[in-house]
Chains A and B, each alone.
Chain A
């Protein structure tokens, strides 16, 4: 039962003793059971209530107009843009895990890729709400799309805000395709194991006639690799374009060439923190410690640490540029950021994003599940604060002192933000209940081959 020499010991990515059947059983059981756990109802209920908060906030906004938010001149980009960047960033871990780690043949991606991809989709859905509402008249948002019309209206292709439209819509499309294509063999497994006719039909439609034939597998592998190739540049490009929303404009604190790499690192940083935030309770509640092992958590913690250090490098360089350039405006911007009206957010941000991940240098912390969970939560808060510092502090002090002003989010700003948590969690709860949160067939490839052969006669379906 020992693993081949060229692979990492499999016990690290799947607990010993599992057979092909036990893997399928354990994962499909969560979905196919008729007894929905009581905790699921409670969790979904809370998420559902928050979705109602979201709907009320959106309705209030549409009925009364954008004035219900705290945004005004000069801070025209408030919580909506902060939340957009934050949610989009979170999605990046899913794409990185599913695409880049696949191409690098990292076996430990296997048990976390499915729900990380789902997390990406749901985060992008939450993110998309904000710019859509921020345009003020969302029913005219389709004007952002270049299409033949009687108005001779054509989008401004020189604007990064338009690049955003394409970056985010491409991202959402490719992520959805990638997630769905990955699901097809598992949907077929669910179809074959489902007891009731309606579920057989529903999963059957999703499985698109998958029979597990060799030709199916061959095409599937090709398609999956091609999609991974398509998704890989998106990990870099999407948040680069988001950062250009800021960097292309000439606001002090925004107009910096370091923004694209620093935003991408921040995105992956926050994304992995969110995967940890979700994975730790999930593996505990559903007893999946065999599949999402400490090895997975430690690897993710290392990525959090590495990307966190890149982000810290970004903060350091911003301060260094201000000093080294001897540019009084840059220095004034930094002084305002650290000691101005919003100075406390900058120091909280440094505490969350620069200080907290340093604990991950210690193996003891990395293998302590509770500590990891707490650190991941703090990083999530820190990355939100980072966007707050960038958006609000910079806008509140632009070049004209006469137009300086502060920004305070209203309850409708917060309602919308809290509401998207509801949407995110509600979608996640539905996903966990009705789809396999771990890729069954990919987990089965991790079962050591000796066990696989011994158990082969138990198998009916591939």
Chain B
């Protein structure tokens, strides 16, 4: 009987059988790594904006409070993007002819808002409310990072569901006194575990893990 296959097929078939297992494993690993990489999550990727607004300059340099611009953060689900009028409150006097601010002036003249690139954008199926987090003693920098050191805004957290849940499982790990919520220089290590537990009890912090807490 004539040979159907060349002897090299012995090796080929063994390699393909065992290789398939490793190939599948590697493919799954690669896909998972891609999903967690900053390519997908945009962590540490500074985003272009129509006007290169620097949080570092305005917060660290000038000492503006977060709420000066994000006015509704304590009462509303949405922290609020400031209208052009807020910018012009100062910039009609300061740097009023700077070419870099021309889009701001143009927006003011034409009464069309500046189209900022949103950096922290949750998908629409996730319900998020700033006011409750602020009221329960969760500070801005806990989720948004050291905004006072960012010339252009970037994410320091993935905003993945497992990141949300890590805190929702154990919220007292990130609690701080209410009066320090907007303090960008707050040091999380300045509280002992007992003090955190005390704050958590005082603010009635609960582990909120129902699906419908966020997916309403």
Contact = CB atoms under 8 A, between A and B. Distances in A.
Interface in A134-150: 147-150
* Interface SS of B by simple majority: helix
Nearest to A150: B160
* Interface SS of A by simple majority: loop
Contact of B161 (A151, A191, A204): A151
Contacts of B35: 150
Contacts of A152: 161-162, 165-166
Contacts of A151: 160-162
B136 to A, nearest CB: 21
A153 interface: yes
B162 A201 contact: no
Most buried by B among A149, A150, A151, A200: A150
B1 A148 contact: no
A458 interface: no
A209 B13 contact: yes
A192 interface: yes
A153 B4 contact: no
Nearest to A147: B28
Contacts of B96: none
A451 interface: no
Size bracket of the A interface? 10 to 19
Given A150-B35, A208-B13, A200 B160 contact: no
A151 B161 CA distance: 4
A410 B123 CA distance: 35
Given A148-B32, A209-B10, A209-B13, A191 B4 contact: yes
Contacts of B32: 148-149
Contacts of A153: 161
Most buried by B among A148, A152, A191, A208: A152
A150 B37 CA distance: 11
A212 to B, nearest CB: 12
Contacts of B28: 147
Given A208-B13, A209-B10, A209-B13, A150 B161 contact: yes
Interface in A194-234: 197, 200-201, 204, 208-209
Nearest to B17: A208
B5 interface: yes
Interface in B3-51: 4-5, 10, 13, 28, 32, 35-36
A201 B4 contact: yes
A78 to B, nearest CB: 25
A158 B89 CA distance: 59
B5 A150 contact: no
B155 to A, nearest CB: 14
Interface string B155-185: 0001011100110000000000000000000
Q: Which 7 A-B pairs have the closest CB atoms?
A: A152-B162, A151-B161, A150-B160, A152-B165, A204-B4, A200-B4, A150-B162
17 contacts: A147-B28, A149-B162, A150-B35, A150-B36, A150-B158, A150-B160, A150-B162, A151-B160, A151-B161, A152-B161, A152-B165, A153-B161, A192-B1, A197-B4, A200-B4, A201-B5, A204-B5
Given A151-B161, A201-B4, 17 more contacts: A148-B32, A149-B32, A150-B161, A150-B162, A152-B161, A152-B162, A152-B165, A153-B161, A191-B4, A197-B4, A200-B4, A201-B5, A204-B4, A204-B5, A208-B13, A209-B10, A209-B13
